[in-house]
Amino acid sequence: MSYIVPIGPYHPALEEPVHARLYTDGEQITDAEVFIGYNHRGIEKLAQQKNFIQTVTLVERVCGICSHSHALGYAMALENIAGMNVPKRGQYIRVIMNELERLHSHFLWLGIALHLVGHDSLFMHTWNEREVIMDMLEEISGNRVNYGMVTIGGSRRDIDDDKRRKILEMLDKVEKSMVRLRDILLSDKTVALRTQGVGVLTTEDSIRIGAVGPHARASNVPVDVRKDSPYCCYEDFEFEKAVYPTCDVFSRVVIRVLENFESIKIIRQALEMLPTGPINLGTKIPKIPAGEYMVRHEAPRGQLCYKVVTDGSEFNKRVSIHVPTFKTAPTIPTMLRGNSVADAGLIVASIDPCFSCMDR
Amino acid sequence: MQEYKKIAITKDEIVPLAKKMRENRIALAMIHGFINDEGKPNISYEYEVGNGIESYTVDGEDTLPTISDIYDLGAEWAEREIVELMEVTFEGLDTSKRLFMPDNMLDGQGQIIVTPMDELIDRAHGKKGE
């Protein structure tokens, strides 16, 4: 018997609104469609009415998980238009925030994945670790979600020696937990049974569709903006592009674990080599000449693009945001085909979707 | 520092350029749609070339050829988004189904409905739209 099974836009297996329509033959999915746009907020249009400083605050609210990435992408585009040289200390602080954000985002996704596979004790353990990072972000910035750490021309808040020591201590603890978590994830039967061979996206399909970020790297495609097109002094740090060859949901789990170790490595280097000097070029509304620029940033979910057009006034002429989920969500039908309906929620979640970003 | 280069092209150059880029394994970062000062579309194709972006821009055309047969869903979703948000047609693009909200919602129109703020305030005060 053939059925059409609707999932969402509001469904217990989905954290945010999206609608997937599954075409099934009995329990098996034969095809699928994805519909987005349930919560589109028109932020790009709204940005045209805001000055540059207001827009940093606005775009930071595109997403609750990778808020720093959005503010950074926008600021980098303006800095390039104006030809600003951001002080190195400011750049390093941006890198530290980027990687702390990646850590808590990956822990968040790991927890959701573990919850969906039915391993709730490990889900709680994972989110417990995430909480430690959130507390540290709060200690650094005063905020748990929208950190307000980015300003055009640098960072808004410094990391002093006391905070530096606390971050390093926190990283030691998190790394120890990560080792334990890695060992459990790689050997646990429940995780293996629910994720291995499920939701496969082959390397060829990933390249064909144009997937980005950890989702592409889990299909053995070595793309990472931090290495391919460095920014914010990423070229100063030694780290590996994590790739894994099995191309299934398990591969996506492994990639997040491996990337967490790389993020810890980057943060340690940034803290140890933190240059002296100013953290920004001042916090007043900067003078930005007419121009346009597009920048790419490796956000936790993959390549985030910001294109900004200015006309010499203190307002944006155009702001265009393209988010990683817009590049990874088109892979969902390919991954769903041939799998069972019971795995659909997990497979959709395996791209680490952010519909808040996509409905910007 | 990431480089950015803007290059103006005509709509006849879109497909040959996309084919050349695809053959050279160059990724399509995104397709942007803006409205220019004359109220006409300004569509740019952003390719990841080397350390930066080459932005190929077509200005003032409201009908363009699709490159979804070359860059597959990576281009198709971007083109469908532009079609549904702006008055632009991509020849050859399958628009039989919507991307933003399915076709069986909102009386088949499927358009994103934005209720103006003044109307919301009026409704809250019981003035109209009961």
> For residue range A142-177, what is the model confidence (pLDDT) as tens digits?
988 889 899 998 998 999 999 999 999 999 999 999
Indicate whether B107 pLDDT > 70.
no
Domain boundaries along the sequence of chain A = 2-358
Which residues on chain A are in Cβ contact (under 8 Å) with B48?
228-229, 296
Predicted confidence at residue B127, as pLDDT, reads 63
* Token pair in block for residue B108: 């088949």
**Averaged pLDDT for residues A335-360:** 85
What number is the ipTM of this complex?
0.83
CA distance B130 to chain A (A): 24
Asked whether the beta carbons of residue A36 and residue B73 sit closer than 8 angstroms, the reply is no
Residue in A closest to B52 by C-alpha: A229
What is the CATH architecture of B4-97? 2-Layer Sandwich (3.30)
Shortest Cα distance from A312 to chain B (angstroms)? 15
Which pLDDT does position B129 carry in this prediction?
A: 47
On the question of pLDDT at B95 being above 90, the answer is no
Residues of B in contact with A326 (CB under 8 A): 77-78, 81
The CATH superfamily of A2-358 is: Cytochrome-c3 Hydrogenase, chain B (1.10.645.10)
Taking residues A40-54, what's their average pLDDT?
85
Encoded amino acid at A182, one letter:
R
Please tell me which residue, A211 or A9, carries the higher pLDDT value.
A211
Q: Residue B36: what pLDDT?
A: 84
Q: Is the pLDDT of residue B111 over 50?
A: no
Half-sphere exposure of A33 (CA within 13 A, CB side): 14
Asked whether the bond before A9 is cis by omega within 30 degrees of 0, the reply is yes
Q: Closest to A330 (Cβ–Cβ): which among B34, B46, B73?
A: B73
Mean pLDDT calculated for residue range B94-111: 64
pLDDT at B109 over 60: no
At residue B121, the pLDDT reads 78
Q: What is the pLDDT of residue B86?
A: 81
| Domain residue ranges of chain B, discontinuous segments joined by + | 4-97, 100-130
Q: Does B29 touch chain A (CB under 8 A)?
A: yes
Eight-state DSSP code of residue A314: S
**Pairwise pLDDT comparison (B115 vs A91), residue with the higher score:** A91
Cα–Cα dist A294/B4, whole Å: 7
Does B106 score more than 80 pLDDT?
no
In this prediction, residue A58 carries a pLDDT of: 92
Tell me the HSE value of A16 on the side-chain side, using a 13 A CA sphere.
Answer: 21
* Interface touch B29/A38, C-beta < 8 Å: no
With CB atoms and an 8 Å threshold, state whether A36 touches B100. Answer: yes
Contact present, A32 and A57 (Cβ < 8 Å): no
* Confidence class for position B104, pLDDT limits 50, 70, 90: low
Whether residue B120 lies within 8 A of chain A, CB to CB, comes out as no
Encoding tokens for residue A63?
A: 């997403």
C-alpha A237/C-alpha A298 separation (Å) is 15
A267-322 pLDDT, tens per residue? 999 999 999 989 888 867 788 899 999 999 999 999 999 999 999 888 898 899 99
Closest CA to A20 of A30, A9, A12, A29: A9
Would you state the pLDDT for residue B130?
A: 45
What does the pLDDT read at residue A200? Answer: 92
- Interchain pair B29, A294: CB under 8 A: yes
Amino acid, res. B29: A
